[in-house]
Structure 1
Amino acid sequence: MSGTPPLVDDAVRWVRPHTPRGGPSAVTVAELQERHWPAVREIYATGIATGQATFESQPPDWARFAAGKPAHLRHVAMDEGGTVLGWVAASPVSARPVYAGVVEESVYVHPSAAGRGVGRLLLQALIASAEAAGVWTIEAKIFPENTASLALHQKLGFEPVGVRRRLGRMSHGPHAGQWRDVILLERRSATIGS
C-alpha cells in the first residue's frame, strides 16, 4: 500500500488483497473509543507481558488512558467482524506551549494479527491525524531488542536520534530487575514546522 489514505468521518476502511497468514482481507481503522477498551486493554496487557513493549507493569484504567491521549490521536484496527486487532495512541510530551506539536506514540498489535500489516495501517492513520492536527514531531521510544517495531517505524519515516542508556529498570516480566536501554526515534512532518 502506498501513501496514507486521508481519514474521513470516524472510520477508514483499507482493503488488503491477501495476507500471508490467511487473515482477514479488510481492516477498518477507527477512533479508539471507550467501547473498544476491553480489547485494547487485553492487547496492551499482552504486550506488557512480553517485556519488550514498555516499562509499564500493567495497563491503566480507561479514564487514565483517555485523559492522556487526545481522541483524535488514538485509533483501533478491526477486522471485518469487529474484532480489535491493534491500537495506536499518542500523548503530548509536555504541557509547555512550545512543545504543542510534539507527541509520543505507542502502537500495539495482537499476536494473532502480527505480520499482517496492522501496525503499519495504525501508524499511517496516526501520522495522518497528527498532521491534520498540526503535529510536527512524533516520537517513539523502543527497546533495542524490539527489532520488528524498530523496522516498522523506520519504514514509515521515523529516524533514530539517540539511545537513552539504562533509562529504567524493569519491574516485571522476563527482564524484571534489569536496566534497559531505549532507542529514541522521531518522525518530523515534511510540511509543518519545516
Structure 2
Amino acid sequence: MTGTHAEGVLEVYAAGIASGHATFTASPPSWSEFDVGHRSDLRLVALGDDDEVLGWVAVAAVSSRPVYAGVVEESVYVAPRAARRGVGAALLGALVAAAPTAGVWTLQAGVFPENAGSLALHAACEFRVVGRRERLGLMTHGPLAGTWRDVLLLERRLGG
C-alpha cells in the first residue's frame, strides 16, 4: 500500500464505517493521518483488474513500550462489491505470512460481536477470541448510534 492507493483505501474504509459494524470511528482519517498511524512495512492492498482497491489490511502498534514491539493491532476492510470473494482471507493470510519477518509475534483485532463476517474471516485465519470488552464504547454513527457496544478481542500468535 502506497499513497497511490490512498483514495481507494479511504473509500473502502468509509464503506466499512457506514455499515456501523466495523469501527467506533465516525469518519475516515486523512491519508496523512492514516499513514502516520499504521506501520508502513505491514500494509497491503488487494487490487481489481482495473487497479481499483478491493480491500486492505494494515497494522498499528498497541504500545510504545519496547516489550510490546512485536504486538500489533490489525485492521482489515473489504469493499462491499468484493465481499465473499476471498479478498479478506487473501489479505489476512498475506499479513500472517509477512508479520514474523517484520518482528511481529502477535496480531490482535477488536471486532464487534455482531460482525459475523469479520469473526468468520478471523476464525478461518486461526485467530481466537481471548476476551470480551463489555460496553467498551458508545457508538456515535450508523444503525446503532447511541448504543454502548461490546468488542471481542481476537488474537493470532505467530511465535515468541
Q: Over residues 156-176 of structure 1, what are the superposed CA-to-partner deviations in whole Å (9 max), with x where a residue is unaligned?
A: 110100100000000111111
CA apart distance, 1:85: 0.3
Over aligned residues, Cα RMSD in angstroms? Answer: 0.7
Q: Deviations over 1:49-87 (max 9, x none)?
A: 110000000011111111111111111000222111001
Q: Indicate whether 1:44 and 2:17 are aligned.
A: no
Query: Are the equivalent residues in 2 in contact too, given 1:72–1:129 (CA < 8 A)?
Result: no
Q: What residue is the counterpart of 1:16 in the other structure?
A: none
1:168 equivalent among 115, 128, 137: 137
Instruction: Report how many aligned residue pairs link the two structures.
Output: 160
Rg (Cα) greater in structure:
1
1:23 matched to which residue of 2? none
**1:1-194 correspondence to structure 2 within 5 Å:** 32-189=1-158, 192-193=159-160
Contact 1:158–1:187 under 8 Å retained in 2: yes
TM-score calculated relative to the size of structure 1: 0.81
Q: Which has the higher helix share?
A: 2
**Gapped regions of structure 1 (runs ≥ 5):** 1-31
Give CA deviations for 1:70-127 in whole Å, capped at 9, x if unaligned.
1111110002221110011000100000000000001000000001000000001111
TM-score normalised according to structure 2 size: 0.98
CA distance in 2, matches of 1:126, 1:71: 12
